[in-house]
Structure 1
């Protein structure tokens, strides 16, 4: 499903941006398809993702519910969670629309649900890069695994890859990722795509948390075979990730850019297009007489110059003209032809 050198597979990461509203989720699926995305991805967590301590503190990173009277942290997590039945319905809708479906599981039971639903691959969140227990369970499904590497050192990435390989699963895509929302440009380090490609024989992709489209497009040009980008219909919508997500205009730009970039990357084999061959005649230069040259005159370097078009003797063969005898009179500023000279004297 994934290989090096393929056209970038674009995943519109809906995550929890459906806000628990399945009609909104379906609208996002349709819009992602219209934007040219290859797949949408959800997240399969439930309230078990946090321990009691977090819920008692009622705050997590920037999600502070201590002074709110509408939701507690646990209530908003429950509100935005999706059940297996809802994911099954969303998968069916994706099939109907003609776009790929995926989700990120956070517990073995959620992995099993995705297998039952028919997800074509499993995405591992950066937070679980060191969760060997979950990695083994995912690896044993035999499904392709997209391994996000945010928060991770190279040693931790290597350990995670070895854990997956230990299950017999070598259908792995390693996603470069920076788990900041958003990172500064100087923190993105897209050259890690090259580093990972040199370190592993697996396809390399990129999970993008930057604002805008430029970094996504640059990652594609670096050879990312998968691009994951958070997606929203409205950056100002209530919820967790909307502000750092691509809106439909940006996602469409990524989809269109992907097609152009793939076409433009082409091959490492050097070729000259037939259209370029035609351009040679107009663009390149020929040996031209700098002054009048008399018949029988031995042509020296000062007697010639190089001008367009390129239909005569090319400059890299000028050494065959210099020292040759003119077989006829040549007017100034004329293309010199092989019939005009006797190169045996050169």
Structure 2
């Protein structure tokens, strides 16, 4: 599948998404710095979230004055106060899209309402992201599918039946441009709950490219996903993990993101082929590291070689140890000193 000008495929170089989400904290200067940093780290895209105080949360939820406390970090004010501060206004979407275009990094976003989908379409985003919470929001998926653009679906909290239903809803609209992301919607999840083996399972079950939306702390788990052939890594991104906000603690900072980008490339290169290959460098190494047959005592011309006469030492330039059966019983053409290599033309 093509996302912009880049081919995205399993066991290829993962498409790297810096998930800014709401980590801009409503500050456009901070958002632009994050875009520049993601670009310098080597990310392919930055992702934002498109919601507003009325498109995501019901009044009853606001009335509880609750806070989203998935992490131990304390947040300011009520839920409504946080939403009011962190949501991206329309003019800010436009500003950030233009900034990304100039920085030559892909801008896209997760919409949370049909109106926000249509607004992102006006901005000409190249593809859409479905949040885990909306995988069973079938009318919403149907509306997005009709845009006939690639759709990235996070599968957090979803059963296989729900994933299948979401895929079929999109396919029925004639859109088969789907990328699945294995995801655990806990911030951060316990290691035993991550189940990275779901990546090949989802790929095999549904036949679509499969990536990983990561909510772990650090870099080891997203890098481990690369070894399983993940086509995409989405990782929350921040410039400072100590900033207030929902996701900074589970986000990668620029140093970590740079490592994820660079080491992903190395891992993909190292995966190589399924077919067993001994490369040129290893063939050359054989000559130094393997063993050849030597005599382990002085022997006279005409001596008939026995197993007790032979030893095996470096270098591996002459008769191999696994050829000893063809040496035993042969007669020497000349005298040999202890520890001397035997060559085929030294024997009758």
The verdict on a shared fold, with TM-score over 0.5 as the criterion, is: yes
What is the alpha-carbon distance in structure 1 between the residues aligned to residue 269 and residue 236 of structure 2? 25
User: Which residue pairs with 1:176 in the alignment?
Assistant: 182
What is the alpha-carbon distance in structure 2 between the residues aligned to residue 20 and residue 51 of structure 1? 21
1:275 to 236, 261, 281: 281
User: Which residue pairs with 1:56 in the alignment?
Assistant: 63
Alignment of 1:138-149 (within 5 A): 138-149=144-155
TM superposition shift of 1:146: 0.8
What is the alpha-carbon distance in structure 2 between the residues aligned to residue 173 and residue 118 of structure 1? 19
Is 1:310 the counterpart of 2:316? The answer is: yes
User: Which residue pairs with 1:8 in the alignment?
Assistant: 14
1:162 to 143, 163, 168: 168
User: Which residue pairs with 2:327 in the alignment?
Assistant: 321
Alignment of 1:48-127 (within 5 A): 48=54, 49-62=56-69, 71-127=77-133
Alignment of 1:156-305 (within 5 A): 156-305=162-311
TM superposition shift of 1:272: 2.5
TM superposition shift of 1:43: 0.2
Structure 1 stretch 144-153 or stretch 247-256: which is displaced more? Answer: 247-256
SS at match of 1:17: coil
What is the alpha-carbon distance in structure 2 between the residues aligned to residue 243 and residue 45 of structure 1? 22
What is the alpha-carbon distance in structure 2 between the residues aligned to residue 26 and residue 174 of structure 1? 28
TM superposition shift of 1:83: 2.5
* TM-score w.r.t. length of structure 2: 0.93
SS at match of 1:147: strand
What is the alpha-carbon distance in structure 1 between the residues aligned to residue 317 and residue 131 of structure 2? 61
8 Å contact from structure 2 (residues 157, 185) kept in 1? yes
8 Å contact from structure 1 (residues 54, 60) kept in 2? no
1:335 to 313, 336, 341: 341
Question: Which segments of 5 or more consecutive residues in structure 2 lack a partner in the other structure?
Answer: 3-7
SS at match of 1:227: strand
What is the alpha-carbon distance in structure 2 between the residues aligned to residue 321 and residue 56 of structure 1? 90
Question: Which segments of 5 or more consecutive residues in structure 1 lack a partner in the other structure?
Answer: none
TM superposition shift of 1:299: 0.8
**How many residues get paired?**
339
User: Which residue pairs with 2:5 in the alignment?
Assistant: none
TM superposition shift of 1:271: 2.5
* TM-score w.r.t. length of structure 1: 0.94
TM superposition shift of 1:71: 4.0
Deviations 1:252-274 (A, max 9, x none): 11112112112212222332222
What is the alpha-carbon distance in structure 1 between the residues aligned to residue 226 and residue 43 of structure 2? 14
8 Å contact from structure 1 (residues 124, 147) kept in 2? yes
What is the alpha-carbon distance in structure 2 between the residues aligned to residue 115 and residue 326 of structure 1? 85
SS at match of 1:59: coil
SS at match of 1:109: helix
